[in-house]
Structure 1
Amino acid sequence: MTTQHQVYGAPLVTRPWRARRLRLPRQHAEVDPTAELAAPEIGEPAAPSIEVARTTRLSETFRALRHRNYRLFYTGQAISLTGTWMQTVAQSWLVIELTDSKAALGIVTTLQFLPITIFVLPAGVIADRVNKRDLILATRALAMVQALLLAVLVAAGSVELWHVYVLALVLGVSNAFEQPTRQAMVVEMVGKDDLINAVALNSGLFNGARLVGPSVAGVLIAVAGTEAAFAINAVSFIPSILALTMMDLSELKISDRVAPARANPLRELREGLSFVKRTPAALMIIIIAAFLGTFGYNFITVLPLVARYVLQGDSVDLGFLTAALGLGAFLSALVIAGQRRATRSQLFVGGALFALLLGAVALSESFYLSMLFLFLTGVANIIFAATSNTSLQLATPDHLRGRVMALYMLLIAGSTPIGASLTGFMAEVLGVQVTIGLLAAACLFGVAVGFLYYITHREQIEATAHASAIVATAP
């Protein structure tokens, strides 16, 4: 038998030994060690370069932007949402300046979201019938006029509380028709393969604007007054409107959509609700969203109360608290955007952490500790929100998506009148911290109910949620 010394030293060796010794170095030299880094999700070899690997990772995170229509939409939204968050802070602070009332702050938030409660389900039916781009254009124009009127009233020194109430209602009507339509249009811009990425990027954009807008608004209000924030918001709608008009509607991905014959609107509405009721995977998401939307997503009311009555702060402090929440959500969204999987573990963990961290905000009396808890609350919020939104859309047939997402928006935003009024009046009676603690407990209870439903309906959920659990990769 040939020894190891003879194998390395002899000019001729047997084939088995030559194959074993010579093939391995040659393979090692030809395969780039960064190939798996370049495309870990897809599993295909990438160009042999660390720089290319980094570029691939970055392109995965922002892959939805390769669609021209979505790029236009995203750019317009980036500018408009910053102005919207500036107005959100300005409106809350204006009400506090006019009334110094916790209940009044809850009422104005209730009025702003009440039209969503009333109109969002019919808006979903309309969204499934009409050109979504044109409907969004109309709602953006209405919101721009509303912001401009607020700016003029405040600048003229003639603003009264009832003005704010009425204009909050007008903005609510705009949002009631815009939100479900926008949610349903995203998949038409990017397709199902890139939907989770687009939803996460939208969440990152929303919360990136929450990071910038309130911080700027807090300083701007202190220097130039609330009217400056309202005016800037009005102007910020112009780029968004222009971007929508530049879209190429022929590129929308609606070829798979089934277009049934027109029916009675109430019958179409019942069709969407019936789908959710008989689809366990969708119903599970709706259960948790109902609790978190009603009791947890009341930051427009909660944060001004925390800033003013717990931390004894001013508009600048409110801006930074809101920005901390936005920063956590923004960074979380960037991580989620790089994924191609929306899992149920993310749904439950995100929801539970959101509730627990909201409870931590209730206990904190330190400004910096409150900022930290709000940052982490933002992280947990996006884990839940991006996962629930994507899973629900992918589990829904194209021709029902507007109606199903309208129900989702009803629970996430349309339930705010209940939560905001409850928060305002409970804060008057029980105090701000006790109120937030009780709201956090209600959120945790909702996650527990959703998890119990999952345990008792596991097989049905697995059977109806396969498409929502894993996003298919391109071949």
Structure 2
Amino acid sequence: MKRDFYLLQTASFLGTIATRCLEVAVAWWVLRETGNPALFGALVALGIGADVLSRGALAWLGDRFDGRVVVLCCYVAGGLISSTLAVAAWTGTYSLWLVSAAIVALGAGLGVREPLQMSLIRELVQRADVADAVRIRSAVMSSSAFAGPIVAGALIGPFGYRTVLTLSAAVVVSSAVLVLVMDRQETVPGAASGGAARWVGDVVAGFRAVRRVTPEWRLAITTMVVNFALYPVFAVIIPIVVVERFAAESWVLSVVESAFAVGLIAGSTFVTRRITGLLGRRRTVVSGFGALGLGFVGAGAAGGLAGSGPLVFSAVSSLFLLAAGTGLSMVVVNTGAVRVLATPSSYRNRMVASVSFLSGIVMPLGALLGGLISGGLNSSASLVILGLLICACAAVISRDRVLGRFLSMSDDDLDGAYAKHFPEAFVA
């Protein structure tokens, strides 16, 4: 693989860890200044909203401009914003408006750069290496998301939130430097003209492409349902399960949730490649959905072992969640490779970002559903129900002939396949 691919993944790894550290440091700062957890929760929701919305509204940037330049601008802006927050913290200048604006801007930058770093893979590696590149990309994201809070927790105690803000800004700047030394594209994907009307047209074209490409539309709907079930599991239900049974054993929650992250990392680094080699891409995706759903069903059933003590509960639940995390990586790596290979370059980033947007908008509703279900049923039963919902998605995917046909294609046949089979989806 080319040097630029590894430079971009290193920048992404460092940038994601810095972003997680920044989130923890800002949380510490806001809570120290206001003592209001509800306010911080609102700020987090604001950042998540900016992230998700920018994936839908700004994805066209990556298709009309040099993707490397767009990513570089995101990191430079992130470095400036992080540095501003660090200076404000060191000078004792706390402003709710400043923090709110910074969180929105950082969320929007994250929403622009993350899908683009995935869609750039096709330009940075040879066709035969795309699947491995997507796998590496998934491993980078899983490990950085897992390591970020750990690094932040290790630093903020002894050094304080001001130092963590400063270090986060420095790391984001280093990510910008890594992107800066990458080679520039010789051509620009699209012309920067047309004003607001062109912008709206580009946004609509991205969603229209997803809707008209049958396998992507069905994957998007399935992913929406899965994320609808997935998000409340870790945001609401598992914390409730642990608090209800082991309120005095806070380590149980860390162990159980970490098992899922370890499954994601293991799946991305080696498991998915081996299983795909044995079963093929289509069966691996179906099996991945099944493993994710059954992992949650098993973890919910493990709630009945609470009487056996925290060690037994943690061990059994962790095994099931490890399998669930591995299953999710089996889905993400293979469907991501198909999307990157099959989508024409002029629409690739909008396709990647639009699917990400559609899957992300249901997360708040999923969190609400998780709370309502847990209120009406016990939390373990809620986990079983959501796991069965994901298993139902696996059954639907296994019967989908159109999606199965594209998942069964070789990398050579997939290259540009959407433009050949669905030309009407890519008409401006």
How does the TM-score come out when normalised to structure 2?
Answer: 0.75
Q: How far apart, in 1, do the equivalents of 2:338 and 2:365 lie?
A: 26
Shift of 1:69: 0.9
Q: 2:115 aligns with which of 165, 180, 184?
A: 180
How do residues 21-420 of structure 1 correspond to structure 2 at under 5 angstroms?
Answer: 66-87=1-22, 98-99=35-36, 107-148=42-83, 167-225=102-160, 228-250=163-185, 264-297=198-231, 301-302=235-236, 305=239, 309-310=243-244, 311-312=246-247, 320-335=255-270, 336-337=272-273, 343-363=281-301, 364=303, 366-420=313-367
Would the alpha carbon gap of residues 127 and 258 (structure 1) be closer, same or farther in structure 2, given more than 3 Å must change? closer
Q: How far apart, in 2, do the equivalents of 1:342 and 1:239 lie?
A: 39
Would the alpha carbon gap of residues 301 and 168 (structure 1) be closer, same or farther in structure 2, given more than 3 Å must change? farther
Q: 1:472 aligns with which of 392, 412, 416?
A: 412
| Aligned positions, number | 396
Contact 2:122 2:341 in 1 (8 A): no
Q: How far apart, in 1, do the equivalents of 2:65 and 2:102 lie?
A: 27
Contact 1:303 1:321 in 2 (8 A): no
Residue identity opposite 2:319 in structure 1: L
Q: How far apart, in 2, do the equivalents of 1:439 and 1:161 lie?
A: 37
Moved more, 67-76 or 221-230: 221-230
How far does the alpha carbon of each residue in 1:125-183 deviate from its partner, in whole angstroms, 9 at most, with x for none? 22211121121122223333454555567777886988766544333211222223222
Q: How far apart, in 1, do the equivalents of 2:374 and 2:29 lie?
A: 19
Contact 1:361 1:374 in 2 (8 A): yes
Would the alpha carbon gap of residues 242 and 346 (structure 1) be closer, same or farther in structure 2, given more than 3 Å must change? same
How far does the alpha carbon of each residue in 1:327-353 deviate from its partner, in whole angstroms, 9 at most, with x for none? 221121112357679612121211222
Q: How far apart, in 1, do the equivalents of 2:320 and 2:161 lie?
A: 28
Would the alpha carbon gap of residues 169 and 199 (structure 1) be closer, same or farther in structure 2, given more than 3 Å must change? same
Aligned to 1:32: none
How do residues 447-462 of structure 1 correspond to structure 2 at under 5 angstroms?
Answer: 447-452=394-399, 454=400, 458=401, 460-461=402-403
Would the alpha carbon gap of residues 181 and 414 (structure 1) be closer, same or farther in structure 2, given more than 3 Å must change? farther
Q: How far apart, in 2, do the equivalents of 1:231 and 1:74 lie?
A: 22
Q: CA RMSD in A?
A: 4.1
2:59 counterpart SS class: helix
How far does the alpha carbon of each residue in 1:215-245 deviate from its partner, in whole angstroms, 9 at most, with x for none? 3333444544555544433322122111100
Would the alpha carbon gap of residues 119 and 79 (structure 1) be closer, same or farther in structure 2, given more than 3 Å must change? closer
Moved more, 376-385 or 72-81: 72-81
Gaps of 5+ in 1: 1-65
Q: How far apart, in 2, do the equivalents of 1:449 and 1:199 lie?
A: 25
Contact 2:63 2:190 in 1 (8 A): no
Residue identity opposite 2:110 in structure 1: N
Gaps of 5+ in 2: 307-312, 414-428
Residue identity opposite 2:409 in structure 1: A
Q: How far apart, in 2, do the equivalents of 1:308 and 1:231 lie?
A: 35
Contact 2:64 2:192 in 1 (8 A): no
Larger Rg: 1
Identity of aligned residues (%): 20
Q: How far apart, in 1, do the equivalents of 2:97 and 2:385 lie?
A: 30
Q: How far apart, in 2, do the equivalents of 1:226 and 1:412 lie?
A: 33
Contact 2:142 2:264 in 1 (8 A): yes
Would the alpha carbon gap of residues 370 and 154 (structure 1) be closer, same or farther in structure 2, given more than 3 Å must change? farther
Q: How far apart, in 1, do the equivalents of 2:124 and 2:20 lie?
A: 25
Q: How far apart, in 1, do the equivalents of 2:156 and 2:242 lie?
A: 15
Would the alpha carbon gap of residues 373 and 269 (structure 1) be closer, same or farther in structure 2, given more than 3 Å must change? same
Q: How far apart, in 1, do the equivalents of 2:92 and 2:128 lie?
A: 52
How does the TM-score come out when normalised to structure 1?
Answer: 0.69
Moved more, 233-242 or 334-343: 334-343
Residue identity opposite 2:359 in structure 1: I
Q: How far apart, in 1, do the equivalents of 2:91 and 2:236 lie?
A: 29
Q: How far apart, in 1, do the equivalents of 2:93 and 2:385 lie?
A: 38
Would the alpha carbon gap of residues 461 and 300 (structure 1) be closer, same or farther in structure 2, given more than 3 Å must change? closer
More helix as a share of residues: 2
Q: How far apart, in 1, do the equivalents of 2:90 and 2:273 lie?
A: 41
Contact 2:293 2:388 in 1 (8 A): yes
Shift of 1:396: 1.5
Shift of 1:201: 0.2
Would the alpha carbon gap of residues 421 and 227 (structure 1) be closer, same or farther in structure 2, given more than 3 Å must change? farther
Would the alpha carbon gap of residues 186 and 300 (structure 1) be closer, same or farther in structure 2, given more than 3 Å must change? farther
Moved more, 324-333 or 275-284: 275-284
Moved more, 199-208 or 73-82: 73-82
Would the alpha carbon gap of residues 437 and 304 (structure 1) be closer, same or farther in structure 2, given more than 3 Å must change? closer
